[in-house]
């Protein structure tokens, strides 16, 4: 029956000459406190051979670098099959049999199928036990290789294979090499430096034991960011604002690299409107969820570097800081390379603010309440103390509000 299932799936995969399909098997066991992964590929078409081969090689390299992991790669699996007398070496329904799995103490297989039909990529992942019975399945589509890998990385991360930090290289239709970005990659758009944040999931909110904890920061809840995005490496500076808007509303003006402040949410919306009017991409404010996800870098502590408030002085301008803002980028960045996520100036988010929103927040790409009277801000500022400069801190302000404490950073959509 299993053989018929797999044959049936590949009958569908060969639906046209433009079809791309490849199969990876991830097999895992625990032996002598060491995880063993088997990694097997089958590329059914040379239309996108480079993509399949690159993903295979990078996954193998990535897994090989993990602590306590050994790899059974493509050649090793073929050797096992040959030693078992299997003749149909490339036959999908004969990749592994139960005897090989038992002999090598392999208890689970991840069968990943990728195809392309009329420009749409399809992913199907089947999870099989050591009886070759399907015990789980997931399916999704993507309109580009980059988005496909973002989503694939996120799905595999949910299953314990964290590949979102890998960098893939593929060929486009013109035969040019194209790098598929990874977390922390940098790029400049419209003279503003951005950092790429990959899709992923995290726990949003604060523990009630955190110093400075507020009731609007609970409950801690799971959030999934389904699309990678670019976020400003720094807070938007006075020089960048002046170049686009022709004036500088800031209170502190002794350095062009100071963050722009004295800007309301509406002022920032005007700035973004002019930037988008150039037709060079879609720029916007981050959602609260995107801001906190980018800030935390996978951590669940009070700060992205831990819980030690004394350490904050290495990463943030806070606690009066000589009574003024400071040029961006002078303190240490977070692990993704973002500067001044804590302190210097508060940063506007796109969301309406509701102190009870976390009780009803969406899990997938939350964007805040549909309406309200105040907008959310994150990160703390130069005059605040450490208990307000936390990853989970959130406060409301009217969209007309201006202050020497209030600035922003941008997001550019992928």
pLDDT at 192: 97
Distance (Å, whole) CA 92 – CA 102 = 19
In the three-class reduction of DSSP (H, G, I as helix; E, B as strand; rest coil), residue 120 is classed as strand
Instruction: Name the architecture of domain 186-413.
Output: Alpha-Beta Complex (3.90)
pTM beyond cutoff 0.85: no
Please say whether the dihedral angle defined by the alpha carbons of residues 95, 124, 39 and 100, taken in this order, is positive or negative.
negative
Q: At what angle do helices 265-276 and 238-245 cross, to 10 degrees?
A: 60
Which residue shows structure tokens 């609970």?
218
Q: How far is CA 39 from CA 73, 95, 249, in A?
A: 5, 11, 58
Is the predicted pLDDT of residue 242 greater than 90, yes or no?
Answer: yes
**Which ranges constitute the DSSP H helices of 286-358?**
288-296
pLDDT at 328: 98
Q: Where does the pLDDT of residue 289 fall: very low under 50, low under 70, confident under 90, or very high at 90 and above?
A: very high
Tokens coding 23:
């199969």
End-to-end, the C-alpha distance of the chain in Å comes to 43
pLDDT at 308: 94
396 alpha-carbon distance from chain centroid: 26
Q: Where does the pLDDT of residue 226 fall: very low under 50, low under 70, confident under 90, or very high at 90 and above?
A: confident
> What is the average pLDDT value for the chain, to the nearest integer?
77
Contact 322, 226 (CB under 8 A): no
Distance (Å, whole) CA 283 – CA 95 = 47
In the three-class reduction of DSSP (H, G, I as helix; E, B as strand; rest coil), residue 389 is classed as coil
Distance (Å, whole) CA 372 – CA 193 = 32
Distance (Å, whole) CA 71 – CA 36 = 6
**Mean pLDDT to the nearest integer, 361-389:** 95
Torsion angle defined by CA atoms of residues 350, 352, 354 and 355, in that order, rounded to the nearest 10 degrees: 30
Is the predicted pLDDT of residue 246 greater than 80, yes or no?
Answer: yes
Contact 343, 317 (CB under 8 A): yes
Q: What is the pLDDT of residues 338-371, one digit of tens each?
A: 999 999 999 999 999 999 999 999 998 999 999 9
Residues, the chain: 414
Distance (Å, whole) CA 42 – CA 188 = 38
pLDDT at 201: 87
Of 21-35, 44-58, 144-158, 298-312, highest mean pLDDT:
298-312
Closest CA to 164 of 313, 310, 293: 293
Is the predicted pLDDT of residue 90 greater than 60, yes or no?
Answer: no
pLDDT above 90 coverage of the chain, percent: 51
Q: What is the pLDDT of residues 151-164, one digit of tens each?
A: 666 655 554 444 33
Q: How far is CA 202 from CA 76, 146, 157, 389, in A?
A: 36, 21, 12, 19
Which residue shows structure tokens 């940063």?
347
Tokens coding 226:
């389904």
Closest CA to 151 of 100, 187, 114: 114
DSSP run (H or E) holding 267? helix 265-276
DSSP 197-213: E--EEEEES--TTSTT-
Contact 263, 237 (CB under 8 A): no
Please say whether the dihedral angle defined by the alpha carbons of residues 24, 25, 30 and 36, taken in this order, is positive or negative.
negative
């Amino acid at each position: 029956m299993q053989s018929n299932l797999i044959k049936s799936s590949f009958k569908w995969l060969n639906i046209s000459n433009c079809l791309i399909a490849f199969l990876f098997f991830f097999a895992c066991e625990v032996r002598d406190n060491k995880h063993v992964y088997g990694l097997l590929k089958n590329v059914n078409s040379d239309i996108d051979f480079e993509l399949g081969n690159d993903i295979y090689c990078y996954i193998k390299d990535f897994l090989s670098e993990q602590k306590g992991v050994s790899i059974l790669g493509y050649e090793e699996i073929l050797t096992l099959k040959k030693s078992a007398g299997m003749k149909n070496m490339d036959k999908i329904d004969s990749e592994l049999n139960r005897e090989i799995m038992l002999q090598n103490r392999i208890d689970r297989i991840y069968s990943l199928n990728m195809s392309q039909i009329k420009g749409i990529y399809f992913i199907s992942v089947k999870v099989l036990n050591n009886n070759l019975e399907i015990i789980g399945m997931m399916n999704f589509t993507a309109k580009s290789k980059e988005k496909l890998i973002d989503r694939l990385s996120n799905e595999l991360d949910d299953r314990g294979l964290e590949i979102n930090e890998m960098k893939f290289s593929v060929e486009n239709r013109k035969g040019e090499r194209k790098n598929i970005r990874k977390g922390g990659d940098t790029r400049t758009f419209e003279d503003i430096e951005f950092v790429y944040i990959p899709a992923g999931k995290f726990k949003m909110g604060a523990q009630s034991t955190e110093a400075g904890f507020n009731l609007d920061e609970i409950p801690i809840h799971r959030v999934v960011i389904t699309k990678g995005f670019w976020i400003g490496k720094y807070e938007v500076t006075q020089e960048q604002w002046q170049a686009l808007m022709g004036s500088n509303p800031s209170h502190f003006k002794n350095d062009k690299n100071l963050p722009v402040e004295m800007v309301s949410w509406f002022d920032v919306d005007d700035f973004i409107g002019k930037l988008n009017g150039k037709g060079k991409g879609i720029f916007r404010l981050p959602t609260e969820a995107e801001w906190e996800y980018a800030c935390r870098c996978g951590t669940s502590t009070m700060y992205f570097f831990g819980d030690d408030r004394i350490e904050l002085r290495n990463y943030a301008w806070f606690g009066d800081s000589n009574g003024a803002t400071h040029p961006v980028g002078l303190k240490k960045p977070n692990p993704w390379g973002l500067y001044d996520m804590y302190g210097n100036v508060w940063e506007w988010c796109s969301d309406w603010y509701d102190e009870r929103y976390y009780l009803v927040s969406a899990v997938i790409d939350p964007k805040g309440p549909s309406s309200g009277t105040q907008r959310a801000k994150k990160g703390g500022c130069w005059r605040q103390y450490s208990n307000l400069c936390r990853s989970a801190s959130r406060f409301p302000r009217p969209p007309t509000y201006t202050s020497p404490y209030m600035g922003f950073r941008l997001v550019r959509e992928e």
